[in-house]
Chain A
Amino acid sequence: MDRTQPKGLPTRVPVGTMGDGGTTYSGVNPNAVWLNSRGIWLSYVIAVTILHLVLLSIPFLNVAQAWTLTNVVHNIGNYIFLHMLKGTPWETNWDQGKSRLLTHWEQIDFGEQFTTTRKFLFLAPVILFILASFYTKYDPLHFIINLSTMLLVLIPKLPQLHGVRIFGINKY
């Protein structure tokens, strides 16, 4: 568990004016709190729905393939943005660069495990997997593809893998 941030920190980033690149003075990592904002779950669900509708509208894909593709694209996007990219797109004045080595998943809620946001992000691939399995009528090939991408994206979210870099991949 990350002990660099004390508990009881605000859920909003305290304010200053937007000078020299928009740095805040008060030392809270916005990456840790922005997924707690109002309306983010709805936006997430709507974004996945739009992706699915776009894939469904491609004429040569049948329903099963569209669902599997939705699942795969969602999981790959999830993996890239939450577990591959590290650091923050703004300067980390507050913690002397410790967040640079942490992926976005590890930064959420300052490293606290089992928060509501983490539960939501953990459940999203599971629900998509269940839906995709149903709509592909439990076909074996689709099942293998869906299961493997779901595992790809669920295993890094386990608390035991917080900060773990297998074979040193993505360490720096």
Chain B
Amino acid sequence: MSKDSFEPAPRVVVFLTYLGYGILMLFGYFRDFLRKSGVETTHSAIERKNMKDFVPLYQSFESFYKRNIYMRLRDCLNRPICSVPSAEFDISERVSDDGNWHLRLTGKTRRCVNLGSYNYLGFAENKGPCADAAAEALQQYGAGVCSTRQELGNYKIHEELEETTARFLGVEDAVTFGMGFATNSMNIPALMGGKGCLILSDELNHASLVLGARLCSTVIKVFKHNDIEDVERKLREAIINGQPRRQRAWRKILIIVEGIYSMEGSIIKLPDFIRLKKKYGAYLYLDEAHSVGALGETGRGVTEYWGVDPRDVDIMMGTFTKSFGAAGGYIAGSKRLINHLRAYSHSTTYACSMSAPVAQQVISSMKIIMGEDGTNRGQLRIKQLAANSKYFRQRLVEMGFMVYGNDDSPIVPLLMYMVPKIAAFSREMYEQNVGVVVVGYPATPLTETRARFCLSAAHTREMLDKVLDDISDVGDRLQLKYSLNSPVKAVSAEECYSQVDSLEHKA
């Protein structure tokens, strides 16, 4: 098991980042002054003249960041894609005449290597056995479902999907939902709805988990990312002090964590959390959106990665969007839990169920991963992903980039710190026909803007070599190689790919 690494930035870089923000703010004020005095055209919404004496509708200071920083790098975001997002995809080109306020399509497309899609096992395909099975399901059931699970939307294919999911994860039962985000936000209220409950949530939890926690009337305490001592301390405080005003015992305590955190690439220390929850009698909710299918010898997720019994985790949640090339989410656990959710979840009561071709896609991809289709293609994909992740991350660290997260995670964040660099990096990589995802403040901390690479089993080693050369070249030009650690070559490329090669020879 590898450790997470979060190398802190050199102080010079931090200072230059703040200096950059300061200069951007000054220029922002200058441009706002030009807009106000009429020298520059204003593109954002403004008040009508006859509403001048009313309370203002638009707070112009609140859109300062959006106007002056976000708009200038908007062409790196929301790029329109016009093909299936496998290892390579087509991006529609856009140009702007007024500084990214209006972007128009030119009609041309550009074929790029895809380093941004969550396509861990490469199931985002429009040909092959999964696509054929999905097309058949479309012929049989149609595209829509036209009802909720509890009314007339419970198809045989949904029951097959749930049975397959439970078998895949090694638990008693599972229930599936049409949307991954809604799986979290609609089901946490069903589990923690009463008074007197406590939720302990990791500080870097996804928005869906935060929203789900907020929709219950519970007390929410946030603990430091992946920090076992902090969780233990907060648990002890909570149990000793009881509920806030009445000092009564808590009815239940739920610890919400994720398998792989999508912005950091760090993997949760699951055995420690299970030990804690058993010691203090709390429940554990594990969101495996990014880790199911992507971690473990046979792709069963973070429980297999750590060698932990999946029945020790009370509520296992995951999505089908990332590793299975479909849409939707599931919750898995004991039969009692799942029966409760089937009856009380908002999603099963009010939301329409998963579309049949999508469910079929999940079933086919799961069967391939489990090897039930009679080939070892699933195993090959898993090994290819593991090799790609290790190799890519290793090479980036050798080149001297700042890379966060765990060595085994397929998410590789590359830190760039200064805001203009993320725009420059994205555009330079686009020129080299590589599509990357860049994120900045306020989605990440102020000084930790980054590019986030998502590896896939569909990437070949040649593709990754070409991309790595481009990244190294752009990194030299933009001076992104900040790491002060001496480059350490732990595993050679041949070792990374040895398991893949041996499997391929067997296939």
| Docked CA distance A166–B382 (Å) | 66
Which segment of A20-28, A108-116, A145-153 sits at the interface? A20-28
> A18 touches which one: B62, B203, B205, B440 (CB < 8 A)?
B440
> A42 touches which one: B15, B443, B445 (CB < 8 A)?
B15
With both chains docked as a complex, state the minimum distance between the C-beta of B406 and any C-beta of chain A, in angstroms: 17
Count A-side interface residues using an 8 Å CB cutoff. 39
Contact B446 A30 (CB under 8 A): yes
Contact A22 B222 (CB under 8 A): no
Interface residue? A13 (CB, 8 A): yes
Count B-side interface residues using an 8 Å CB cutoff. 46
| Docked CA distance A24–B66 (Å) | 13
List residues of A (118-151) whose CB comes within 8 Å of B's CBs.
Answer: none
List, in ascending order, chain A residues with CB within 8 A of B445's CB: 12-13, 37
Contact B204 A21 (CB under 8 A): no
Please name the residue on chain B nearest to A35 by beta carbon.
B446
* CB contact under 8 A between A19 and B78, given known A42-B15, A43-B14, A43-B15: yes
> A30 touches which one: B62, B203, B204, B442 (CB < 8 A)?
B442
| Docked CA distance A146–B219 (Å) | 48
Contact B442 A23 (CB under 8 A): yes
| Docked CA distance A37–B102 (Å) | 35
The 0/1 profile, CB within 8 Å of B marked 1, for residues 72-104 of chain A is: 000000000000011111111000000010000
| Docked CA distance A14–B211 (Å) | 12
> A24 touches which one: B19, B204, B443 (CB < 8 A)?
B443
List, in ascending order, chain B residues with CB within 8 A of A91's CB: 62-63, 66
Interface residue? A16 (CB, 8 A): yes
Interface residue? B210 (CB, 8 A): yes
Interface residue? B70 (CB, 8 A): yes
Interface residue? B207 (CB, 8 A): yes
Interface residue? A8 (CB, 8 A): yes
Interface residue? B8 (CB, 8 A): yes
List residues of B (174-220) whose CB comes within 8 Å of A's CBs.
Answer: 203-207, 210-211, 214, 219-220
List residues of B (1-29) whose CB comes within 8 Å of A's CBs.
Answer: 8-9, 11, 14-15, 18-19, 22, 25
| Docked CA distance A88–B66 (Å) | 11
List, in ascending order, chain A residues with CB within 8 A of B214's CB: 27
List, in ascending order, chain B residues with CB within 8 A of A25's CB: 207, 210-211
Contact A18 B8 (CB under 8 A): no
Interface centre among B207, B442, B444 (most CB of A within 10 A): B442
| Docked CA distance A6–B222 (Å) | 10
The 0/1 profile, CB within 8 Å of A marked 1, for residues 39-69 of chain B is: 0000000000000000000010111111000
Interface residue? A168 (CB, 8 A): no
Sample of 25 A–B contacts (CB below 8 Å) = A8-B222, A13-B444, A14-B204, A14-B207, A15-B206, A15-B263, A15-B444, A16-B443, A17-B439, A18-B440, A19-B77, A21-B65, A21-B70, A22-B66, A37-B14, A38-B8, A38-B14, A39-B9, A40-B14, A42-B15, A43-B19, A46-B15, A87-B61, A89-B61, A90-B62
Write the residues of chain A forming the contact surface with B, with a CB cutoff of 8 angstroms.
6, 8-19, 21-27, 30, 34, 37-40, 42-43, 46-47, 85-92, 100
Shortest Cβ-Cβ A-B pairs, 4 listed: A39-B14, A89-B64, A25-B207, A10-B203
